[in-house]
Amino acid sequence: MNHRGPTGKLLAGALLIGAMAVSLWRTARAPNDWAEAHWLLDYRFGFVKRGLPGQLLTWVTDLLGVPVTEPLVAAVAGTVLAVFVAVVLAMAWRIVRAADGSLATVAATVAFLTSPFAVLIGHLNGYFDHIFFVLGAASLVLALRGHLLAGAVVQVVALLVHESCILLIYPAFVLACLVRPAGDGPLRKRLPWVPLLLPVLMAGAIAVVLSSPPAGFQAGYQARLRASGFVVGGYEDSTPWMLTMPLRTMWELVSQHLGELLDRHLVAVGLVVPNLVALVLGVGRHPALARRTVPMVAAAAVVLLPLSMHAVAWDAERIWTYSLFTTFAAAWILAVARPGAPGGGAWILPTAVLAIGVNLLCTVPLLDHAVDRLGLGPRLAALAALLLGLALLARNPARSR
């Protein structure tokens, strides 16, 4: 096998960091009111979904004798954002390193780091996505190292951060359990049922318990948001209402407005699909999945299950991008479990280059009427720099091990 020399590795690393930096530069901002409201959500009114981060913050601020203020929430959210970005870059580097610096793999990874998902990372500063994705990555590491029960416990903690983990992170956990290096024996020995069932049972328990909110929760939480002085714009009233809405009601509201959401879905599909194809080409033809039906089904679930959130949520553009991260996580799992360049490289490279072009030439729909910080000119300059870097990497000679 071949691998890049020091210059090639340095260039590949610079491309990954540069791509991520451009994405953050485009849309990074302070937490919005919806995100700030969630950090004021805790268990003082009873057990509620998404209450764990706010409860931890309440314990710390009570211990220190300080109030939960807007600057404090911004500082905590910024720290979580930085950790998540570091985790994403570490995963990206591991994918590239496992493929021996393959040009196609570097291009596909750069595509992901400039994709709508990456562009939204800084824009969604303060959202709990960053917390449960980091916890999800930790559970995958534990599973790949054979610590399945510990990984399942981390999955449970992630569910207490946000209930959507059962669709966004759990399928990747199953895939990690299936393809982990120690899992070459019979399926029943490779796949203990207790670690796999634990997150599912927790998700079920949360669904049952949260089917009706604690008495007085909505009024009490609303009063706390109003008293904070920094959750405004109607979110002090709408957030408690949204968090107590049953799934059936959410489905009915979304289904009634499918026609209005159609244009948003079409735009999101156009932005997401080129990136998703580049990632799926690598994942689907990876040697670890070849002629293995169960792992292949798990990989398909990793890609497709996040899209089921469209049934109960409004933010269509954001939900489409989730499949980019989950597929990226699948690529990382396979890179750790079975290092080596994936098949399909001849198609991955042109698809990835196309995706990079789409990512930099188009703007991503943002929340709160925000606009891309970078105009077309700077984005064209960033595109040229990334393509030049890939061209230089192509000219960098590989060396034999």
What tens digit of pLDDT does each residue of 321-350 get?
Answer: 999 999 999 999 999 987 765 555 678 999
- Tell me the sheet residues that pair with 398: 4
pTM recorded for the entire structure: 0.92
What tens digit of pLDDT does each residue of 81-124 get?
Answer: 999 999 999 999 999 999 888 999 999 999 999 999 999 999 99
pLDDT at 375 over 70: yes
Contacts of 199 (CB under 8 A, 6+ apart): 152, 155, 156, 159, 165, 166, 170, 173
Assess contact for 120 and 48: CB atoms under 8 A.
Answer: no
pLDDT at 185 over 50: no
More confident residue, 267 or 305: 305
What tens digit of pLDDT does each residue of 34-60 get?
Answer: 999 999 999 998 888 899 999 999 999
* pLDDT tier at 144, thresholds 50, 70, 90: very high
More confident residue, 186 or 50: 50
